[in-house]
A and B are shown apart, each in its own frame.
Chain A
Amino acid sequence: MPEQMAFRKVTGEPVTHEVSYGAEGPAGDYLRGRIVRFDDGIELLEHRPVNGPQRREAYERLDNEILAGRQLHELADWSYPTQVAKLYGDEPNSADPFALFEPYQGSPLRDVGLYMGDHEFDAFLTGLLTGLCWIAAAGIAHQMISQDTVLWDSERGVLITDFSRSTIFGVRRTTLDGYDGWVPKELRQGRCAGTVGPRDDIWAAGQLIYFVGNQGEEPQDRSQLADLDAMFNGLFDPIFGPVENRPTARELLEDGLGRRVNVPSEARRSERLKAGRESFLEVRTRKHAGAVTPPDFNADLDWMGVPADRPAAPANGDHPDAVGTAAADGASVCPPAGTDGDAADTTAGAGGTTRFKRRRGAS
């Protein structure tokens, strides 16, 4: 028996469709996914909160997906990035809310990342970082970039999915439990500090790049980063340092790989908010002639701020906030010491060392 589904497209257009349900789509602990097939033949992926004790958290996660999708749509308009899961429509306020996405294409990198050729790896790097550029430009931090949430399709390329843990720039960081292997230090239990910004996803992206580049091996020692660091023109090693010293996705693409990026600026949202505040300050000054604007008034919007003299990446394993520290926390971070500089020619050695298979600047 077909079911009627009423919702709102991201463009604001109200939609009512008779639907029948198809195969189950990707599902998680909080959101259940399934394919809905409209009577005009269109198929979409539907996410709804699961029932049960975790339902309240499930509502929040669906909200996160909708927020990210709407922000990306507003940013991209008609040129929606192919590297990011596309929200088609949503109904967030009903008793059984849902979001509709274009069905995901591709397989998790956990399954397919081990078998990429050099050309594919290059496409993966570009796709992943371009997708992260778009996400950052929308003012969103994905917060769960991993081998499971990033899909790969040999024809379509990268698809970043599952924004259920995402949030927006400027909010204070909160602990993300349960994903330690892919969660940066600043989001782990008891260590949260500062506000979310465009550098937050980069730690997990670096992990993922190493994971794919090293054929599924998880990094053990930061010395293994040398090849990637060289490939990224010295910007890869800082990925695993303090968040404020990490490069952005745009910097990794432009300054690291030398690629041209055609994505709006990450600062766009911040600048828009600052402009809105200016009109308020004018009114305030008219009302209270002597009122002074505090010097740190816009500090909460300065999520793009980067120390002018970002420290150079340590040569080998002595970064104060990287390898040893992270490993001690139970999170694998960096490749083991003792690997040589040309990863493409290395093979797995004795003593548990891993090899790095990619060439610098592979294309």
Chain B
Amino acid sequence: MKTVDQITYQARTGGSGMIFETATSLRDQAGSDLWWSRLEPWLRVGKPQGRAYLNFGTEAAFVRWYADPMSHYDWERAHVLAGAADLLTGRYALELVTPDQAKQFQPEAQVPLSATERGQGPGAIEARARSADATEQLIPLLAHAMRGERRVTMPWTAPLVPEAVMWGLLSILQMIGDTTPVSFLTYMSSTRVVEDTPGLFVGFRPDLTAVLPPDPGFITLAETLAARFADDMSALRELLAKHGMLEPADRASRIKRLLDLLPVIQVGGGDADRTVPANAAVDGPGEVDQHPSTSVRRVRRENTGEIVRCPMCLHEIDDWNSLGYWRWDESTEVYVEVEVPADLNDLQLARALHGTSVRCPSAQGQARIGAHFLPADYGHFGPPVVLGFVGLTKSGKSHLLASMVGGVVERGLARFGISVNALDHSLHRRYLDSWVSPLKQGKVLPGTREGIVEFADAFLVKGRDGSERVVALFDVAGGELAKLDEGKEFLWIADGLFFVIDSARMTEEWAQDETFGTVLDVVRRRTRNNEPVSAAVVLNKADLLRFEEPVDRWLRSAEVIKGAGLDAVEFLRESADVYAFLDGKNALAMAEPFEVCQKATMHVVSPTGGAETGGAGVYPRGVTPRRVLRPLVAMLAMTGVLTGPDAEQVGV
């Protein structure tokens, strides 16, 4: 039989001092130790004004803090309920009677460890949860939760409101079948974040005045659900159940079902004023202007009629200029919406929007991969050129990309008559700081994180003819590429792919790369649909083969012959030699992109100039990239960024 245990802790000098357990109903020391290790960081950030419900997956804890009113310490005693998460639920915890405050401050008092009792039932908190104060906060919180955010910080407005908001949130999530674990702390005086609970964590801070605006598409859905919840909670539950809300097996499908049901939910309430078309709620850019929680003025430029496809979710954005502007905040490491005063002239407006991003408005996309942002200029220079890197884990994709970007920054493309500027300076700076600078210092880079599919960097590229195009670079963990599931949408719109071969695998035994096959399946399908993809096959880490013919010759050759500029014949020679080399190494399977992709080149590249040795995480020879820009130059020619007779011949 599952039980809920109790633990009390004492902090004689407050949460920043020593904390020790004073009493517990737990019978074994191991259990006591386990809960101590889990709770200790949380105990330190709490206050008597708040309560914490911490869902660790199978187990959960509910924490309350107490302090002598005369004490100058933040708290002195804490009371914890701990037990199975399906028994000690968040809603259950919020309905509990608050222990007698006075009893907590009796000198050396022991907390009565009797069975806990439910309070007055959900009635009192339910009423508070359906109040106007709670509903106002519930709407953005629910929108964030449905979008799949993992950390949401809300303003603390008044006692008991956060608890009511959380009870409302948990109730609605339960109705829509969202089983994501939810934890919360209803009063956070510290900005310190404890990152050890799975699922969603909600914190309420008294120093905040507003919540980050959530996705516009989810706002309408949240408004509708909160309104129905406030009107009649039971009716909403029945309505959702009746329309099969709990039938889909996974969360994404349930969110989709919910979006489909939006018109039904709205009509079901009989409130005609709230009814909006479902599609407009999800995608309509006009909706963002109606968001009640933001005072941001949207800058509306004329719709050019040009559709921009989001490379992360494939959503077609048909009015790029209607999107709001966001800026990466270095201190909080989140995007914050940019407020643009209404009276700016064109120059001031350009200055204000410099370096900003826009958020893809697709609700479905955000439901799948979370909120995602694109540089604000991404849609301003015609169809962007999307380039991605394909190859196994440890094939050196990240080092190649970092060396490439490093070469671009050092104006290496100028020798080919190409000028380049960063498209999003904050994104670019982050990439330089995280990847390029450490590599230049001779440090071995970590692998690309699994599960993260986003821009690495993006540039505005201008060729000799003066035309400008946006070039976006994607880096994806090799393990992810071996399987085609969500998160690799860019493969379906990529204009060019760098197929990265790990030279360490050239052992003359039969070699292949399963990521190539997976990705080439997509390429074949796209080719059949007349969507050609260009390929640059890169024999990476070629320094490992520097004593072998013909790698030796190419590695010792200059990246560009002085005065020759873009020499299509030189690209053809290099391609032929790499092909012949792979043939000789029994690795022609890795040359398959050359045969499948319409235009293709092959290259000898060393992003570091030498191998890491000794596992020290550094390159003893220093980092001297060789020929890293040639695949990029070839790709720019093959994808039409560079023009002219020579460029047209590259890859043919």
Contacts and interface: CB of A to CB of B under 8 A. Distances in A.
A59 B621 contact: yes
Contacts of A71: 549
Nearest to A275: B580
Contacts of A279: 579-580, 583
Nearest to B544: A93
A229 to B, nearest CB: 34
Interface stretch (A129-137, A235-243, A289-297): A289-297
Contact of B552 (A95, A168, A276, A294): A168
Interface stretch (A62-70, A120-128, A308-316, A317-325): A62-70
Contact of A273 (B546, B580, B620, B621): B580
Interface stretch (A105-113, A253-261, A280-288): A280-288
A50 to B, nearest CB: 14
B562 to A, nearest CB: 9
A43 to B, nearest CB: 25
Contacts of B132: none
A66 B548 CA distance: 11
Given A94-B613, A95-B614, A172-B558, A273 B549 contact: yes
B583 A56 contact: no
Contacts of A59: 610, 621
A273 B616 CA distance: 38
The range of chain B's interface size is 35 or more
A272 B576 CA distance: 13
Nearest to A277: B576
A353 B568 CA distance: 55
Interface string B520-554: 00000000000000000000000010110110110
Nearest to A58: B621
Contacts of A70: 547
B580 A276 contact: yes
Contacts of B569: 294, 296-297
A273 B595 contact: no
A18 interface: no
A167 B580 contact: no
A96 B616 CA distance: 13
B574 to A, nearest CB: 10
A172 B546 contact: no
A276 B583 contact: yes
Contacts, number: 81
Given A67-B552, A93-B610, A172-B558, A294 B572 contact: yes
A32 interface: no
A135 to B, nearest CB: 15
B602 to A, nearest CB: 9
Contacts of A94: 613-614
A280 B549 contact: no
Interface in B611-634: 611, 613-614, 616, 620-622, 624
B184 interface: no
A92 B610 CA distance: 10
Contacts of A300: 573
Contacts of B584: 276
B612 to A, nearest CB: 9
A5 interface: no
Greatest chain A CB density within 10 A among B552, B575, B610 is at B552
B484 interface: no
B579 A67 contact: no
Contacts of B558: 172
Given A92-B547, A269-B549, A296-B569, A283 B594 contact: yes
B577 interface: yes
A280 B575 contact: yes
A6 interface: no
B608 to A, nearest CB: 12
Contact of B613 (A95, A167, A281, A287): A95
Interface in A135-180: 139, 167-172
Given A277-B576, A280-B576, A294-B572, A56 B621 contact: yes
Interface in B204-251: none
A169 B595 CA distance: 30
A279 B553 CA distance: 19
A280 B580 contact: yes
Interface string B553-574: 1001110010000001100110
B279 to A, nearest CB: 44
B613 A67 contact: no
B73 interface: no
Residue from B553, B577, B583 whose CB has the most chain A CB atoms within 10 Å: B553
B581 interface: yes
A234 to B, nearest CB: 34
B577 A276 contact: yes
Contacts of A276: 550, 576-577, 579-581, 583-584
B652 interface: yes
A171 B573 contact: no
Nearest to A287: B595
B580 A67 contact: no
Given A70-B547, A291-B652, A93 B580 contact: no
Most chain A C-beta atoms within 10 Å of own C-beta, residue among B544, B556, B569, B572: B556
B310 to A, nearest CB: 32
A93 B547 contact: no
A95 B580 contact: no
Contacts of B594: 283
Contacts of B575: 280
Interface string A8-39: 00000000000000000000000000000000
A48 to B, nearest CB: 12
A273 B611 CA distance: 26
A103 B595 CA distance: 50
Name which of A70, A93, A167 has the most chain B CB atoms within 10 A of its CB. A93
Nearest to B574: A300
Nearest to A93: B611
A172 B573 contact: no
Given A56-B622, A59-B610, A283-B595, A66 B573 contact: no
- Report the 6 A-B pairs with minimum CB-CB distance, sorted nearest first: A276-B580, A280-B576, A277-B576, A280-B579, A95-B620, A171-B556
Given A93-B613, A277-B577, A280-B575, 19 more contacts: A56-B622, A56-B624, A92-B547, A93-B610, A94-B614, A95-B616, A168-B556, A272-B549, A273-B550, A273-B580, A276-B576, A276-B579, A276-B581, A276-B584, A277-B580, A279-B580, A279-B583, A294-B568, A294-B569
27 contacts: A56-B624, A59-B610, A66-B547, A70-B547, A71-B549, A92-B547, A93-B613, A95-B616, A168-B552, A168-B553, A170-B553, A170-B557, A171-B553, A171-B556, A172-B557, A276-B550, A276-B577, A276-B579, A276-B583, A277-B576, A280-B577, A281-B576, A283-B595, A287-B595, A291-B652, A294-B569, A297-B572
Interface of B: 544, 546-547, 549-550, 552-553, 556-558, 561, 568-569, 572-573, 575-577, 579-581, 583-584, 594-595, 610-611, 613-614, 616, 620-622, 624, 652
Interface of A: 56, 59, 63, 66-67, 70-71, 92-96, 139, 167-172, 269, 272-273, 275-277, 279-281, 283, 287-288, 291, 294, 296-297, 300
